[in-house]
Amino acid sequence: MPPRRKNNAAVKVEDVGFEVDAIDSGSEDEARKRSKNRRAKPQRRAKQVSDDEEDEEDEDEAPRKRGRKKKAKPRDSDEDDEDEDKRSVKRKASKASRRRAAKDESDDESEEDREKRKRGGEATSKKGKEEQNKEKKGNGKRKEGKDKDGEKDKKKKNGRMNSSSSSSSESEEESLSEGEMAALKEEVEEKKKLIATLRNKPWRMKRRLVLLKEAQEFVEKFEGALGKGKGRKLYAYKVMMAKKLIKFKRDFENFKTACIPWERKIKDVESHFGSSVASYFIFLRWMYGLNLVLFGFMFGLVVLPEILMGLPYGSIPRKTVPREEQPTAMDYSVLFDFGGFCKYSFLFYGFYNNERTMGVLQFRLPLSYLLVGVGIFGYSLMVVIRTMARNANEGGDGAEEGDFTFSWKMFTSWDYLIGNPETADNKFASITTSFKESIVDEQENQKDENIHLRRFLRVLANVMILCCLGGSGYLIYFVVKRSQEFAEMKTENLSWLEKNEVEFVMSLLGLVCPPLFETIAELEDYHPRIALKWQLGRIFALFLGNLYTFLFALFDEVNAKLEREKSIKNDTEWLLNQYYSNYSSHFNTTDVPPPNADPADVVRGPCWETGVGIEFVKLIVSDMQVTYLTILIGDFLRAVIVRFLNYCWCWDLEAGFPSYGEFDISGNVLGLVFNQGMIWMGAFYAPGLVGLNVLRLLTSMYYQCWAVMSCNVPHERVFKASRSNNFYMGLLLLVLFLSLLPVVYTIMTLPPSFDCGPFSGQEKMYDVVMETIEQDLPAFIGNIFTYATNPGLIMPAVLLMLLALYYLNALSKGYQQANIDLKKKMQMARDEEKNRRNNKDSTNQVMKDLEDLLPNKSLMPPPTEDEPPPPGNVVVEKGSKSPKTKPGAAGKGVNLQKDVSLAAPNPRGPVTRAPGPRGGPHGNARGPQPGPGRGRGRGGPR
């Protein structure tokens, strides 16, 4: 399809495109003369030029006719195309070199020439036009040939179209009047510039294109400097600006790539371990970028203002360590648990003050806090979805599986990024096995018992894994229950194990389950890429269970704290009242100064938000420790032992049992995803968490890169990751959504603590927004807001969205259907073509069998024999249509069809002849004929 379409386009271009070069060619001629003179120059390039040129001279005549012929028969033969292509390239090159030569000779001269030409440009170009037109036609055709070759490059094409359109206007102008020279020249230059940029995507021998481009740049420069009569200065300015812009763009581009961190590190990893491992690191890098932005928000809009403009440490109770904690506040163990000074620092929610505005800037911290907390989710959602959409577009149209299994295996299975002998060995092995597998598959398409066995095994594996998941879920539930019981007892009676039971069990499960799943998954015998996805999904479920149990436990704690807080609040209020009444009765005055206790001594509530924040931070830190320790012990130590004990061990450690570790992609990806979920959830309660996470990602980038390069070995079955790692993104999106739920729930329903955090004193956290709307914004916005939140308005909006969703869904289904239909059509056309070509050789198995069934073993010779075919016909139709994998099945269909169509009175035949096997009477009589069969019969030329 595309080539043909292009063809038309090219023809159009050609109609118009002569003048494009007509002007060039003037200079070309001169240049040619000159370069002829200079041919003796002992430069390699020059020699080449001359070679080319001689070719050129010979060919110059030929292509014209050729080209014309080609137009008549656009798809004559591929060889022609190829030739044309080569020649066009050569020609381009020689053109370029000629121009270059001209330039080399002397700039003044060429400039002079040019000026001359410009003045008499009209004349020259017109004079040359007649002859050159022909040549240009050749050119155009060659271009066309090139396009047809399928090296279609949209930009290029566009560019050509542009240039052609411009040149069309140009030609009009030319024929109209001579006074339009300026505009004409402008067009020429524009074109040249276009050409210069278009050559960004050349096909062969870049060096020639380098020359070409240099030349063009020079031309451009000269002509640009010369300018035109009227708007000369403006024009020169424009040209200059355009150049500057291009330069700036390029510099910016350079700068941007220079800013992408760890490019080389990742490439290193990629070359050693294949793209699947590298995909993890790319994901990690992406995550780092995202977190950096989140950190920017959090730090710039919340933390920094509070530190700079808020009250300093020690001024109010929420920013002071309480008296009873002060002796231990700087102890390492306390700090390590994020108690003591850490707890009352800007890392956590409780530190922030609830003043509506602060500092000179009147910064509304509470509002900003809420908006940033929600905005983090919004931004992450946007970014994730945008990335997913982009990835989906990139890897879009590779839909039809199974059509080209072998071809793809043959041509695309090598991972060109591999640069490590070990990996290469593995890759060779895996390619061989995959070929063997598909050969076996192909050979016995229906190996029933195997399929059943495999299905059984897969079901079994899934059942086992479900059992594991259920068991682990129950275990966690059980442990959490027990820990709640323990919590009511006194801490002294509890052993260390009992205290840390939950964490212990959770990390144990996290350690044991994934390898267990992996072992079970071997039963399933999937392709590693699919297996990876399954594995990811399963571990995901496990982690999710853990996370949500953790959350529920946390909610219990929060509720308990809320209870306690209520009583403390009542107490403090009562105390305050007491104090006020005492004071007023004692001093007999109504203006009572606030009680001046030291901020460290004030009674305060438990501040549940800070508690939650601390839990999350602890979780992150312990997660980080576990990860790093696992790498250190599981990979590094193992590698060291295997490497050095191997000298004095009874069996080969490297090849035998422990060997080196493989990089665990699924585990690492999931770790990253869940870590991010934790960050999203915790960021609202602990603004410092995002910064911590940035540090963590940074270190783990270096650490893991080092670990993977120094102590891991490539996977046994190296496989390529598809570049669009939308699967990871999908997981991330799910986790984002899941972590959004609890945070929004707390924001909307739970009352904030009364004495700490930016929302203290409010009924609900979102009251801050309401307050702002009421007090700071004009009234009508408040009105609008009330209307907008009215259920009467929201319901229709939701309905509308649902409808839109439905409509879009239906639309996409329609497109899909159309797509499938088109594909079918293409397939049919292809089959038809195929049949026409090889209907002589009977390669088809089905047909052979059929032939064997026939009484006298041959179909071809006697047309009288044509009664039997119809029953076979049905089979053939089935064969050719249903399994796309063997289109060859239709191989001999044509004969039959032809025979059928030859034998017009046929339909009666089969009826008398007993419909036989089970072809079905409807099938052979009418079925196939209206189907593709008829088309095929008609399509056959004979």
Partner 1 sequence: MGNKQTIFTAQQLDAYQDCTYFTRKEILRLFDRYRDLAPQLVPLDYTSHPDVKLPYELIGSMPELKDNPFRQRIAEVFSEDGEGNMTLDDFLDMFSVLSEMAPRDLKAFYAFKIYDFNDDDFLCKSDLEKTLNKLTRNELTEDEVRMVCEKVIDEADLDNDGRLSLEDFQQMIVRAPDFLR
Query: Which residues 118-157 are close enough to bind partner 1 by CB under 8 A?
Result: 149-153
Residue 423 interacts with partner 1 (CB under 8 A)? yes
Nearer to partner 1 by C-beta: 436 or 913?
436
Is there a contact between 769 and 367 (Cβ–Cβ < 8 Å)?
yes
Contact residue for partner 1 among 253, 563, 598, 774 (CB under 8 A)? 253
User: From the list 5, 116, 119, 201, which residue makes contact with partner 1 (rule: CB under 8 A)?
Assistant: 201
606, two tokens: 């438990």
Region 263-322 residues binding partner 1, contact defined as CB under 8 A:
271, 275
Stretch that binds partner 1, among 92-100, 206-214, 867-875, 932-940 (CB under 8 A): 206-214
Calpha distance 777→788 (Å, rounded) = 16
431 binds partner 1 (CB under 8 A): yes
What is the closest distance, in whole angstroms, from the C-beta atom of residue 393 to partner 1 in the complex? 14
- State which of positions 508-537 bind partner 1 (CB under 8 A): none
837 binds partner 1 (CB under 8 A): yes
Q: Which residue among 432, 622, 625, 809 contacts partner 1 (CB under 8 A)?
A: 432
Instruction: Decide if residue 573 touches partner 1 (CB under 8 A).
Output: no
C-alpha distance from residue 518 to each of 31, 464, 513 (Å) = 71, 12, 9
Residues 6+ apart with CB under 8 A from 615: 554
Alpha carbons 380 and 291: distance in angstroms, whole number? 9
How does 772-798 read in b/e, with b if 16+ C-beta sit within 10 Å? bbeeeeeeeeeeeeeeeeeeeeeeeee
Cβ 410 to partner 1 shortest distance, Å: 5
Nearest distance from C-beta of residue 388 to partner 1, angstroms:
17
The angle at the Cα of 118, spanning 117 to 123, to the nearest 5 degrees, equals 65
Count residues near partner 1 (CB under 8 A). 76
Q: Measured from the CB atom, is 669 or 721 closer to partner 1?
A: 721
Residue from 12, 17, 151 nearest 82 by CA: 151
Cβ contact 26:124 at 8 Å: yes
The continuous run of DSSP H or E covering 661 comes out as strand 661-662
Nearest approach in angstroms of CB 693 to partner 1 is 29
HSE-up of residue 298 (Cα within 13 Å, Cβ side): 30
If the CB atoms of residues 217 and 355 are measured against partner 1, the closer one turns out to be 217
3-class SS at 739?
Answer: helix
Comparing CB distances to partner 1, the nearer of 153 and 518 is 153
Does 436 bind partner 1 (CB under 8 A)? Our answer is: yes
Task: Please say which residue, 179 or 398, places its beta carbon nearer to partner 1.
Answer: 398
* Among 723, 840, 926, 938, contact with partner 1 (rule: CB under 8 A): 723
Please name the residues in contact with 731: beta carbons below 8 A apart, sequence gap of 6 or more. 536, 540, 669, 670, 673
Contact 102, 34 (CB under 8 A): yes
The helix-helix angle for 154-176 and 2-16 (nearest 10°) equals 20
Q: Which among 285, 377, 334 has a CA at the least distance from the CA of 618?
A: 334
Is residue 42 close enough to count as binding partner 1 by CB under 8 A?
A: no
- Virtual torsion, Cα 77, 83, 88, 91, nearest 10 deg: -150
Q: At 512, list the tokens.
A: 């044991």
Contact flags string 379-418 toward partner 1, x per CB under 8 A? ----------------x-xxxx--xxxxxx-xxxxx-xxx
Closer residue to partner 1, CB minimum distance, 603 or 826: 826
Mark residue 588 as left, alpha or beta (left: phi above 0; alpha: psi -120 to 50; beta: remaining): left
**Binding positions for partner 1, 211-230, rule CB under 8 A:** 213-214, 217
Tokens encoding 748: 């909307």
Max Cα-Cα span within the chain = 130
* Among the listed residues 236, 381, 424, 544, the single contact to partner 1 using CB under 8 A: 424
Q: What is the DSSP string of 42-90?
A: --HHHHHHHHHHHHHHHHHHHHHHHHHHHHHSTTS-HHHHHHHHHHHHH
Least distance (Å) between residue 438 CB and partner 1? 8
| Residues in 646-685 at the binding interface with partner 1, rule: CB under 8 A | none
User: Which one of residues 202, 599, 611, 919 is an interface residue with partner 1 (CB under 8 A)?
Assistant: 202
**Closest separation in Å from C-beta 533 to partner 1:** 14
**Binding residue for partner 1, selected from 69, 119, 206, 527, defined by CB under 8 A:** 206
Minimum distance, C-beta of residue 286 to partner 1, in the bound complex (Å): 15
Residue choice 10, 22, 209, 469 for contact with partner 1 (CB under 8 A): 209
> Least separation, in Å, of the C-beta of 207 and partner 1?
4
Residues 51-80 that bind partner 1 (CB under 8 A): 78-79
The contact mask relative to partner 1 for 789-828 (x = CB under 8 A, - = no) is: ----------------------------------------
76-95 residues near partner 1, rule: CB under 8 A: 78-79, 82
Q: State the Cα–Cα distance between residues 376 and 365, nearest whole angstrom.
A: 16
Question: Could you give the residue ranges of the DSSP H alpha helices within 646-722?
Answer: 665-683, 688-711
Residue 662 belongs to what H/E stretch? Answer: strand 661-662
* Ranges within 879-898 binding partner 1 (CB under 8 A): 886-888
Q: Is 437 in the site for partner 1 (CB under 8 A)?
A: no
